[in-house]
Structure 1
Amino acid sequence: MDFPDLSEGSSYMSAVLKACGITLPLVKIKQNAEKYQFGIHNLFNGKPCEVLGVGSCAEGLTIVANQQIEQSYSSDSDIILIFRLIIYENEKKWRTAKASHPKLCHYLRLPDANYPGYAQLFVSEWLNSTENVCLANNTMNERLLKSNAFFSANFSRHGPALKSDKDLPPLLEKEGYQAQYINLVDFKQTHVGESEIKSKDFVYCIRGEKWPVEASEYKTRKRRFNWPTKQLFYEIIESGYFLASVGSKESKNKENEVQWRVSFNKAEQLIIESFNETQIHCLMILKNIKNKLLPKAVGKNITSYTMKTVMFWCLEETPDTCWHPSNLMRCVCFCISKLKQYLEKVFLPNYFIRKRNQFTLIEFPGDIQTRTKDFLENFLDNPQESMSVILSTFNDNRNLPPNLLNDKSQDVFIEQWLRFRVAMAQTYHLIGVNALWTLYDGYSVNHIIVRCNDVLEKLKILKYASPFMKLSQNCMGVLQYIILRNEKEKNVSELKQLCLENMVACVPADRTHTILRIATCLLDFGAQDECLHIIQNVTNHKKIYFSMSSHSKIVAQLVKNTTEKFSKMSRIRKIQEVKIYEQLINQDLINQDPYTLIEKLKNFKEEGHEVGGYFLFVFLWKGCCFEVTFMPAEVVILPKPAALELCVQCNENKNVKKVSFHPILYRLLLEFLWHVKNVSPNAKKKKILKDLKQCVSKIPKEIRSEGFNFIFYCLLLQHNYRSAYKYLIK
């Protein structure tokens, strides 16, 4: 790289970016958080398509720490919906498959020789047709918009995508996760670990498992340096490709309608995940140039994907030793010079399919090309001045000395780590119990246990999945109790031991749902002291009601208190706390378990350290409250009024597969029934009835009927028929 020495400015630029939260560990945390969100969704989603995040969000390149840089990097959130179809790359094999199974759909992908990187899909229709039909690229989008009122009302066509500016929770609800009113938490004030996502693009894709023939040059390409590494190269080839439903902008209308773009989203993700910190900084600066500097001169003809493609090519042409902090600006200049070379040739080769031109010439007229080249030449003629212009976009940090930048980067790292862990709790609260509904498909208890066990095994390899594992264990424990309950030869101790073991395993999952389900089994079984102890300790009436109704406010306040206390520490105390947090975060990245993290925080707290995140994490993971949910297969263990609610709801709506109860209402019902079974004094039962009535008066009107039902049943057991009749009318 023939550029002047920019080492001092490069090191300072790197320090500024780190102070803005653009560090390798935070990028990794963001990448893992995206994988976690979509991994959980795909694991529990029983639908034929897989959901995958792509682009800047999935790459972890949207991390910000101040409003100024946030505006530079704000972007769309790209989500692809992947259909797994059997695609043949060989016409002979395709025809053989058609002849063998004429009633099935068989897809043949043929590359478009005139438009490299695009292909056509031929399909033999299953409706007794012998003709080969070329599948239009808008087929799935058009069918969905026409057949689904929700999508037609909330989405619009945007190139190959269905674009929505709506909030994500309603979209997840439509996917089958009907969020409950007490655990769908508004995290807008607490989840600020990423830049603002302006909109969401949903793109339907078809996955190709094998490396496409038109990208065969990539496999045999001669490379001067050892990049990509052998392991990365192998993973790239194994990642296959996607067919995105969009044609070439330079093809004619009829050709455009039947073209599918060959995309390498997974391969690109793997490459970004292999970056070191300097490479991340370089790409972020290139994107900043594209977003903040280039548009003034050339509009939007140079895209973020342009910058990413240029950098991929530059990585092949440079040794690993070039990519270090003191060489950052020389790396940026090298990338800019390569872009200028490609622009002079008016041809930017796609990194995987060399023959595909990433420049869309019909949208890139000569005058715009000239202005773009002039800008790039000016940038390279005076890199020091260019660097100053780049620094001007980081107003909060650009004038700080290096030692203060280092301190700020540590503060930002800890704060952002806290916020990302809050965001992961958001996913758990949003999906949580509801994710398990998909595993209950009918009344076959043995079949449901098999499905739960299968999911449990898959969860073991997913990071930060222990809360979902606790929920799955709880489901299996209750179902196993139901099986043993019907086997008369089983002795009492075995049933009791089963319930207690599962109770212990599931206690950390939440404060209401899992424990009250175990208490239901114990009450059905007839356990005495154990059952009452669990029921009475699972919730504190006033405290739990407050945390349920104000959960998001409490979380926001805890985050604020934690970060403010840390920022106001004395320098000496903060140095000690930073060391503690570094240990915690390193262990957290290894263990990937919130409950292990809480124990570590507790130990440090007992040793006298501040670690204010302790109360935040306890509240998020151990203090969360869910409605107590049961499925039709579990109706046999429910108390009569709860079983009646389940039967009525399922009878009124055939699509209903569960019943959920307010945790305080259900807890009071269980406690009342325990006193009835154990012939307790009437005074205790009257007190519980009073608490039930007070609880009903405080909960939302739409769920009060279940409270009236519980009170009605309890009054009947007390032989207070007149009062019971009043609640029956209500």
Structure 2
Amino acid sequence: MDIVPECMEYVKHTAEYFPKRVMRTKLLNFVLEKITKVPVFYSGSRAEGIPCVSSDTDFMYEVKAVSPGSHEGENRFGDEEENVSVVLDLTDVHPGYTKVRILNGSWQDSSEFALYGNGLRSLCKLGTSYLSNMLVSEYWSTRLPNIFPNHGMRQETFLHGPCISTKYDSKSKVAEIDTMLCWKCEWPEVANEWVERDRKFNWPTQEIVNEIKKTGCNLVPVGYANSGTKELEWRFSFSKAEWVIIWSFNATQIACIDIMKLLFDNCISPKFPDLFPSYFIKTTMFWLIEETDCNFWKPQNLFVCLDKLLLNIISCLDQKRIRNYFIPENNMMDAKSPEELAKLHEELKICWDNGEEKWLRLIKENLSTIDKNEIYFHHILINGLTISRHLIYTTMQSLNLTDWKEKTKQTIRDLKRCGENGTLPDACNILSQEFEALLTIYSFYSSRFDGNMEFILSTENIKHVEETLRNCAKLSHSTGILQLAIFYFCLERYPDALQVVQQVQKKYTSQVVHYQFWERHKTPRDHDYPQAMQRPSLEQTMQNYISLDFVLLPCLSRLYPDMIQEKLRDGRILFIHPLFFAIHLQFCCFCMMGDVEKCEETVQKMQIFVKQNIDLLRKTRDFTIVDLTTSCLRIVRTDKHSEDYFNETMKSLI
């Protein structure tokens, strides 16, 4: 067969973007575990780096202080001198599931269930010693708002299988965020066959097998669909193991599973929703790679690889059996409708008869939608940076100045260590520089708060802060440069502050891509950037084309104008559009200088900004800039005028 250029291009593109997605997942998990200190990890197909079109964003929260053991008397709960509290019970359950039983004894409940609820025993089904997955999920729904940041999130939650879900209003669609409470568990005996299995082609390698066994697994709160004791059952989840396995794929294997997911997304799943989830495709792929020589998986063989994977899926449907990769006794298909499986089998046979053309069409279509321009080249890195930045800042929102200072110092050390380990070093460097600039501001203003005027008035110290903030300004439009404007504002150097904010407004051209939490406001295209360098570095891209939300920290509220301080009194961190903040700070400068005419002109700019972004504000439910515009209007107009503006604007938003 002749080598198809599109196949080679697709695999080449896969080899470029996939490692970046892996690095993003590692960065987010590092931030969650080491910096925010929340026992949550990013999971699902997005974390693995091969998402479907309809993939949700998944997070799994590992319960603290409780780790079920396979045998009674093995695991400790809390203090090492105490008796074990919970164990697995695999009697009368479907393969791949277990019950979790609380042991009798005088042990003290030191779990988070005792800290935030009524204790672990209260989560058992009435009259039993077995933990109820339903009661645990209900408990989790009450804890969720206290653990995850709510900026950009809708307040309501709903049950989605074993997950508690919420919605995030992004630029292009309403995204779903799934969070799940789970138990961290040692490697279960029921999965020992996977560890000891003979592998003809040495995949996965013994090194990978040993790493996975050491990591263990999780138990998630969902029972077997056809079980009479479904509420008491928990499913073994091997999410972490699946990362390690998928991250060992070569580019052809990644491209193969990616294209198969595209086929199902475009042609199969709309007709058969939830019948053959992407997890089944992944599992079939695992078995296929294990049973195939590694020389089979080459770019020039992509069509052959896809045909082989599709044939294996058709064979699974023919047998109405798909073996769990880690616990083969678990037929994950046996709770599905046999009639529907038969219809899907016929549909895939028809698809098979379309030959290589079906693959070529999908590859061409997907290649045409891949944004290969130079700005997008860094998108995955910037996305990982913005999410990490958001998570870190949100965990710091309730800290006082002293605690915030210590937390910031530790965060800088952690980020530098993460970068040195090779996990998105550019993103870690940008974050650490941003926090170092904030520390510089803190050190300067803590002297001001302490009345150390000699330090404050020192020309040398002022120049040091200015230099630090100007260097930080190179990171993006919204980091150091606006902090520099605040610095001047607090020193009552209003003309200098105005000069900075005017520079921001002038630089904020149509070529700038504004990143909010998890989302950018537009898709950049090459023809929008005629002066762009070929493959600019991340630092060059950030400095010239990327703007991040400007962060207002409650612990530093005394640095901000009075109207901003009003918004920070409830302890929130405000993630605000940098261009709007520049205009708002401009208004505050003119107000302090007593220039009424300029105040009038500037508040009109704020109103225009709100009007131009009304659709985005409606989607993200971000009403802060409406509040601030109203406050400014109240200064230059009547209370009646500002109240009418607020009511009319909010009416168009809600």
1:469 is aligned, of 432, 453, 476, to 432
1:135 is aligned, of 127, 131, 134, to 131
Q: Does residue 328 of structure 1 match 2:328?
A: no
Kept in 2: contact 1:116–1:356 (CA 8 A): yes
1:508 counterpart SS class: coil
Cα distance in 1 for partners of 2:273, 2:465 equals: 66
- Distance change in 2, residues 1:522/1:163 (3 Å): closer
1:263 is aligned, of 232, 237, 248, to 237
- Identify the residue that residue 222 of structure 2 maps to in structure 1: 246
Cα distance in 2 for partners of 1:433, 1:95 equals: 35
When normalised by structure 2's length, the TM-score is: 0.72
* Unaligned 5+ runs, structure 1: 1-6, 63-72, 170-185, 189-196, 398-408, 567-576, 589-593, 599-616, 674-684, 713-722
Task: Give me the identity figure in percent.
Answer: 18
Cα distance in 1 for partners of 2:512, 2:6 equals: 43
The range that moved more, 413-422 or 238-247, is 413-422
Count of matched residue positions in the alignment of Structure 1 and Structure 2: 581
Map 1:174-185 to 2 at 5 A.
none
Q: Which amino acid aligns with 1:142?
A: E
2:48 is aligned, of 52, 59, 71, to 59
Deviation of 1:695 (Å): 1.0
Deviation of 1:262 (Å): 0.6
Cα distance in 2 for partners of 1:434, 1:388 equals: 45
The range that moved more, 112-121 or 335-344, is 335-344
- Identify the residue that residue 401 of structure 1 maps to in structure 2: none
Kept in 1: contact 2:158–2:165 (CA 8 A): yes
Kept in 2: contact 1:109–1:120 (CA 8 A): yes
Kept in 2: contact 1:629–1:658 (CA 8 A): yes
Deviation of 1:317 (Å): 1.8
Deviation of 1:320 (Å): 1.4
Deviation of 1:200 (Å): 2.6
Q: Which amino acid aligns with 2:60?
A: L
- Distance change in 2, residues 1:549/1:664 (3 Å): farther
Deviation of 1:434 (Å): 8.7
Q: Does residue 503 of structure 1 match 2:469?
A: yes
- Identify the residue that residue 569 of structure 1 maps to in structure 2: none
Q: Which amino acid aligns with 2:161?
A: G
Map 1:532-547 to 2 at 5 A.
533=496, 536-540=499-503, 543=506
1:87 counterpart SS class: coil
Deviation of 1:358 (Å): 2.0
1:312 is aligned, of 279, 286, 301, to 286
- Identify the residue that residue 662 of structure 1 maps to in structure 2: 581
Cα distance in 2 for partners of 1:42, 1:631 equals: 24
Q: Does residue 232 of structure 1 match 2:223?
A: no
Deviation of 1:59 (Å): 3.1
Root-mean-square deviation (Å): 4.9
- Identify the residue that residue 703 of structure 1 maps to in structure 2: 628
Map 1:110-189 to 2 at 5 A.
110-112=89-91, 114-123=93-102, 133-143=129-139, 154-163=156-165, 166-169=167-170, 186=171, 188=172
Kept in 2: contact 1:470–1:508 (CA 8 A): no
Deviation of 1:154 (Å): 4.3
CA deviation digits over 1:289-346, x for unaligned, max 9?
A: 5456667998864443222212211212222111112333443444445446655655
1:28 is aligned, of 7, 15, 19, to 19
CA deviation digits over 1:542-576, x for unaligned, max 9?
A: 63788799969xx878824537979xxxxxxxxxx
Q: Does residue 482 of structure 1 match 2:445?
A: yes
Map 1:290-689 to 2 at 5 A.
290=264, 301-339=275-313, 342=316, 346-360=320-334, 362-365=335-338, 386-393=355-362, 415=372, 418-419=375-376, 421-422=378-379, 425=382, 436=393, 438-443=395-400, 445-460=401-416, 461=418, 462-463=423-424, 464-485=427-448, 486=450, 488=452, 492=458, 495-496=461-462, 498-511=464-477, 514-518=480-484, 520-521=486-487, 533=496, 536-540=499-503, 543=506, 559-560=524-525, 562=527, 581=534, 584=535, 594-595=538-539, 597-598=540-541, 618-621=543-546, 624=547, 629-633=552-556, 635=558, 642=561, 644-645=562-563, 654-656=570-572, 662-667=581-586, 669=588, 688-689=595-596
Q: Does residue 88 of structure 1 match 2:68?
A: yes
- Distance change in 2, residues 1:289/1:273 (3 Å): same
Deviation of 1:259 (Å): 0.7
1:26 counterpart SS class: helix
Deviation of 1:512 (Å): 5.4
1:114 counterpart SS class: coil
Kept in 1: contact 2:470–2:481 (CA 8 A): no
1:703 counterpart SS class: helix
Cα distance in 1 for partners of 2:362, 2:631 equals: 57
Deviation of 1:246 (Å): 0.9
Cα distance in 2 for partners of 1:235, 1:282 equals: 25
